[in-house]
Amino acid sequence: MPRREDVDSAMSRIEHEAARLVRLVEDLLLLARLAEEPTADAHLPLQITPMDLRSLAADALHDLRALAPERPVTLTGPDGGPPGVAPVLGDESRLRQVTSNLVGNAIAHTPSGTPVRIGVGTLGDRAVLELSDEGPGMTAEQATHVFDRFYRADTARTRTHSGGAGLGLSIVHSLVTAHHGRVDVRTAPGQGATFRILLPLHTDTGS
């Protein structure tokens, strides 16, 4: 007869794997819907409302401190300085998915204790939200493919968590594109990585 603790351990592993597969299927379905119409809401309805990216930046800060309390985390403006307003028209739940994926990416691909900076504000006619780490960074070739589906640049960035399928950053790119924005990465070996989201600035106050 198998021992109870062995059965419990096996069931726990099965449950974890089932949850991972459910997330994978959900991610693939989301990407498929976005690929059908990447900048419209025919296949992925977006609940667009006025919002400020500062709320997402603050939540990302709290998430990082909760998930990786050993990491120094700071909140600044784009490229440093004080954080600023960043009003946009967006689907808050979908944009939270974007920041959640960026937070998860930073935790999964940089060593424990690596400092992270979250930047928010405006640049010209764009609202900006960026997440920058001081990890191992990537080569130019790896950065070219980092938003591709199933791509994992593990040779450059230390994978500290298992189970990733290489879809998180592809989802980030697709969701930002659906908001008529863009996301880019600035990185180099040994110099960390900065993922920057730029969305159209919403300046209509309704008056």
Share of the chain above pLDDT 70, in %: 70
For the chain, the structural domain boundaries read 47-200
The stretches in the chain having pLDDT less than 70 are: 1-2, 6-44, 150-166, 205-207
Residue 12 CB partners (closer than 8 Å, separation 6+): none
Question: 190: which 2 tokens?
Answer: 């040994």
pTM of the model: 0.77
Q: In CATH, what number does 47-200 get?
A: 3.30.565.10
The helix/strand count (H/E) of the chain reads as: 5, 7
Distance CA 196, CA 192 (A): 13
Q: What tokens were used for 207?
A: 């008056």
Assign residue 181 a region (left: φ > 0; alpha: ψ between -120 and 50; beta: otherwise): beta
pLDDT tens profile 115-154: 999 999 999 999 999 999 999 999 999 999 888 876 666 5
**What is the DSSP code string of 143-186?**
HHHTTSTT---TTTS---SS---S-HHHHHHHHHHHTT-EEEEE
> What pLDDT is recorded for position 140?
92
pLDDT at residue 47, as a whole number: 86
pLDDT at 160: 47
